[in-house]
A and B are shown apart, each in its own frame.
Chain A
Amino acid sequence: MANIKWKRYLNYIVISALAVLFAVLSLTGTLKLGTQILLEKITISIILAVSLSMVVGFLGELSLGHAGFMCVGAYIGGKVACLVDGDGNSHLILITAILVGGVVAAICGFIIGLPALRLKGDYLAIVTLAFGEIVRSLFLNSTPESFGSTLGLKTPRYDSRFLLIYGFVFVLIALAVIQNLIKSKHGRAITAIRDNEIAAKATGINITKYKLLVFIVSAFFAGVAGVLFSHANYTVQSKTFDYNYSIEILVMVVLGGMGSINGAIISATLITFLNEELTTILTGELSVLKDLLYALILILLIIYNNAPALKGVREKYNLRAFVGKIRKHDPAADKDDEAKWHRVPTKIDMNEVLSTDLVVKESRAEKGDRGGK
Chain B
Amino acid sequence: MKLSKRILALALAVVTAVSVFSFASCSGDDIEVPEFSAETIKIGVSGPLTGAAAVYGQAVYNGARLAIHEINEAGGLDGTLFSFEMFDDTHDPTKVATGYASLTGKGMQLSLGTVTTGPGLEFKELSKTNMFVLTPSASGDKIPEYANAYQMCFADGNQGKVAAEYVNSLCLTKIGIFYKTDEDYSKGIYDQFKANLSSSIQTVEASFTDSNATDFSTQIDTLKDCTFIFMPIYYTPASLFMTQAKDKIAKNATYYGCDGFDGIESAEGFDITTIPQNVSMLSHFNSKAESGAAKDFVTKYTDIFGADTLNQFGASAYDCVYAIFNALKAAKAAGKTVDGSTSSADMLAILTEQFNGGFTYSGVTGDNIKWEPTGYVNKGAVPYTIKEANE
- Asked whether any CB of A lies within 8 Å of a CB of B in the complex, the reply is yes
Chain A residues engaging chain B, CB cutoff 8 angstroms: 32-34, 37-38, 41, 140-141, 149-152, 154, 157, 229, 232-237, 239-240, 276, 279-280, 282-292, 296, 300, 303, 307, 309-310, 312-313
Contact of B18 among A152, A284, A290, A296 (CB under 8 A): A296
Q: Which of B94-102, B327-335, B355-363, B371-379 contacts A (4 or more CB under 8 A)?
A: B94-102
Q: Which of B1-9, B233-241, B269-277, B290-298 contacts A (4 or more CB under 8 A)?
A: B1-9
Q: Give the chain B neighbours of A237 by CB distance below 8 A.
A: 92-94, 118
Contact, CB under 8 Å: A235 / B98: no
Considering the complex, give the chain B residue whose CB is closest to the CB of A282. B88
Contact of B181 among A41, A150, A229 (CB under 8 A): A150
Contact, CB under 8 Å: B7 / A310: yes
Contact, CB under 8 Å: B15 / A296: yes
Question: Does B308 sit at the interface, judged by CB under 8 A?
Answer: no
**Contacts A33-B101, A240-B94; A309 near B4 (Cβ below 8 A):** yes
- Shortest CB distance A278–B (Å): 10
Contact, CB under 8 Å: B3 / A309: yes
Contact, CB under 8 Å: B87 / A154: no
Q: Give the chain A neighbours of B92 by CB distance below 8 A.
A: 237, 239-240
Contact, CB under 8 Å: A310 / B4: yes
Q: Give the chain B neighbours of A310 by CB distance below 8 A.
A: 4, 7
Q: How far is the CA of A31 from the CA of B9 in the complex (A)?
A: 43
Q: Give the chain B neighbours of A150 by CB distance below 8 A.
A: 181-184, 187
Q: Give the chain A neighbours of B82 by CB distance below 8 A.
A: none
**Contacts A240-B92, A290-B88, A296-B15; A157 near B125 (Cβ below 8 A):** yes
The SS class assigned to the B binding surface is helix
- Shortest CB distance B188–A (Å): 8
Q: How far is the CA of A237 from the CA of B118 in the complex (A)?
A: 8
Question: Does B50 sit at the interface, judged by CB under 8 A?
Answer: yes
Contact, CB under 8 Å: B95 / A279: yes
Considering the complex, give the chain A residue whose CB is closest to the CB of B48. A287
Q: How far is the CA of A150 from the CA of B159 in the complex (A)?
A: 18
Q: Give the chain A neighbours of B346 by CB distance below 8 A.
A: none
**For this complex, into which size category does the number of interface residues on chain B fall?**
35 or more
Q: How far is the CA of A120 from the CA of B183 in the complex (A)?
A: 36
Considering the complex, give the chain A residue whose CB is closest to the CB of B49. A287
Q: Give the chain A neighbours of B26 by CB distance below 8 A.
A: 285-286, 288-289
Question: Does B85 sit at the interface, judged by CB under 8 A?
Answer: yes
Contact, CB under 8 Å: B7 / A283: no
Which of B92, B98, B183 has most A Cβ within 10 Å?
Answer: B98
Which of B86, B95, B121 has most A Cβ within 10 Å?
Answer: B121
Contact, CB under 8 Å: B102 / A34: yes
Q: Give the chain B neighbours of A34 by CB distance below 8 A.
A: 98, 101-102, 105
- Shortest CB distance B218–A (Å): 18
Give 25 pairs: A residue, B residue, CB < 8 Å, sorted on A.
Answer: A32-B101, A32-B105, A33-B101, A33-B105, A34-B98, A150-B181, A150-B187, A151-B121, A154-B121, A233-B93, A234-B126, A235-B118, A237-B93, A237-B94, A279-B88, A283-B86, A283-B102, A284-B61, A287-B88, A288-B22, A288-B49, A291-B50, A296-B18, A303-B7, A310-B7
**Contacts A284-B85, A307-B4; A151 near B98 (Cβ below 8 A):** no
Question: Does B11 sit at the interface, judged by CB under 8 A?
Answer: yes
Q: How far is the CA of A292 from the CA of B26 in the complex (A)?
A: 13
